[in-house]
Amino acid sequence: MASVELRNLTKKYGTAAVVDDVSLTIEHGKLVCLLGPSGCGKTTTLRLIAGFVEPTAGEIRVGDKLISSPAGTVPPERRNMSMIFQSYALWPHMTVAENIIYGLKLRKIDKETIRKKLDTILATTKLAPLAERYPGELSGGQQQRVALARALIVEPETLLLDEPLSNLDANLREEMRFEVRRLHDAFRYTTVYVTHDQSEAMTTADLICVMNLGKIEQSGTPEEIYDRPRSEFVARFIGSSNVIKGKTLDDKRIDFAGVPLRLSGAPLKTGGQTAMSIRPHDIKLSAAAAQGENVVPANVVRQVFLGGNRDYMVEAKDGTQLRVVTNADENIPQGSAVWLTMPAERCRALTG
C-alpha cells in the first residue's frame, strides 16, 4: 500500500478548469470518497489519478513516486492501480473465475499461486458457489462483486472506483455499500471512491471530500461533514438543511425574523449578513408559546404524515419558510401558530 497525494492538481479544457488547484493527501489504507453533483470534477480527478488524463498543472504522487505532472505521466498500466467502472466490464465469454484471474494471467503468475489467490478471493467475496457461471447468469450485485474481486486479486497499491453502484436498484445499492466497506476493511487498500450519492459516501468513507466547481469545498469524516458544514453548498448537498440569512448583530448572533439567534461555529464578521444552517429534525416545534433563547414564532404552511414522522413547512414572520421534521404523533393543523426552538449548537454559521 501507499499514500496518494495530489498537489495543486489542475485540469483545464480550453479556459475552463474542470479540476481547479486540488490538494489532497490520502493516507495508507484509507477509503476516501470524492462526493459531488455532476460536473463538479470528481470523475476527472479520478481519471487523473488513474493516468487516463494528463494534468494541466500540479502533480500526483503515490508514496515517494511522482506519477503525474505536466512534464510527464506514468502510463496507467505501470501505476499498480485497479479501477472499477460504472459498467462492470466483465468478459461475457469467461466464467466468474476466469474473469477474476484475468489480470494475474496477464502478469504471467504461476498456476499454483493463481489457484491459491482465487480460492481466497472467492471466499472473501462470497462468490465460490458462482465460480463456474457466466456474467449473463448473475444478478447486478453479483456482477459487481466479481468486478471487485477482479480488481482486488492483483493486489494493487491503489483501488479506484467510479460510481460503481449506480447501475444497481435501490435495495441492492444499499446492500452493496456495506459490502464495499466490508471488503475494504478486509484488504485495507488505499481507495478513492467517486459518487454523487451521499448515503454511499456516508456508509463507505473514512474521509469525504465534497467537490463543487472543480474544487474541494470541504473535507472531513462523515460526522464532520454532516454535523459541521462550513458552506451553504455543503449544508444543502449533504442531507437536508434549512439555510437562512440574517443581519449580523455581533460575533455570535444574527437577527432572524426579529429574533436574535445565537449560532455555533467561527466568530461572525459584523456589519453585514450571515448565513446559517439547521437540519429539519433539529428544530423543536411547539403549539404552545415557548420561552427562552433562539425561539422563533411561525405559522404552519403545510404538514404531511409520512408514517414514522411528520414533515412540516412553516413560515416565519419575515416570510422565510423552513422545513421541520417531528414525531408522527405531533399533529399540528395547517394554519396554526407555532414556536420553533432552534438550539444554538445546531445553528451552524456558514462562511461560504
Residue ranges per domain, the chain? 4-227, 240-350
CA distances from 35 to 139, 150, 302 (A): 27, 25, 32
Q: Which single residue is written with the C-alpha cell 460536473?
A: 39
Cell numbers at residue 95, please? 466464467
- Directed axis angle between helix 111-124 and helix 96-106, to 10°? 130
Average pLDDT, the chain: 92
How far is 147 from 131, CA to CA, in rounded Å? 13
Average pLDDT over residues 38-64: 95
Element (H, E) at 226: helix 222-227
Q: Which single residue is written with the C-alpha cell 434549512?
A: 242
Note the pTM of the prediction, 2 decimals: 0.86
Q: Which CATH architecture has domain 240-350?
A: Beta Barrel (2.40)
Encode 5-24: b = buried (16+ Cβ within 10 Å), e = exposed. Answer: bbbebbbeeeeebbbbebeb
Q: Does pLDDT of 145 surpass 70?
A: yes
Q: Does pLDDT of 1 surpass 70?
A: no
What does the pLDDT look like over 261-270, one tens digit per residue? 999 988 898 8
Q: What's residue 172's pLDDT?
A: 78
Q: What's residue 79's pLDDT?
A: 93
The CATH superfamily assigned to 4-227 is P-loop containing nucleotide triphosphate hydrolases (3.40.50.300)
Smallest CA-to-CA distance from 24 within 11, 8, 13 is with: 8
